[in-house]
């Protein structure tokens, strides 16, 4: 019998600006990692494998063989 479990993992990595794609690609090659886009819409955040043009906050390099989609904590709404 299998049990579905959510795992929260921490990875130390740099977040590259969307204009730094070349630097992110070089870092991925040097660390044997893969590019993920840090995507955001409203208060929601997630990582998506590969490069994209829409809703991208930054680019991160993570270890290989992770899921194509990784949920991240949502932003906390503040009264401003």
Say which range, 6-15, 35-44, 65-74, has the weakest mean pLDDT: 6-15
Q: What is the pLDDT of residues 11-53, one digit of tens each?
A: 778 889 999 999 999 999 999 999 999 998 888 889 999 998 8
pTM across the whole model = 0.79
Query: If you average pLDDT over residues 71-76, what whole number do you get?
Result: 80
The answer to whether the Cα torsion of 74, 51, 31, 27 is positive or negative is negative
Look at residue 7 and tell me whether its pLDDT is greater than 70: no
Cβ within 8 Å of residue 15, ≥6 positions away: 38, 58, 59, 60
With tokens 């992770």, the residue in question is: 66
Residue 78 placed within a domain: no
Task: Give residue 64's domain range.
Answer: 15-72
Residue 10 placed within a domain: no
Number of domains in the chain: 1
């Amino acid at each position: 019998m299998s049990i579905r479990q959510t795992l929260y993992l921490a990875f130390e990595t740099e977040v590259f600006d969307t204009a730094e794609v070349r630097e992110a690609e070089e870092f991925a090659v040097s660390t044997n990692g893969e590019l993920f886009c840090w995507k955001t819409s409203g208060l929601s955040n997630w990582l998506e494998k590969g490069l994209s043009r829409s809703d991208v906050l930054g680019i991160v390099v993570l270890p290989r063989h992770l899921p194509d989609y990784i949920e991240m904590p949502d932003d906390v709404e503040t009264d401003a």
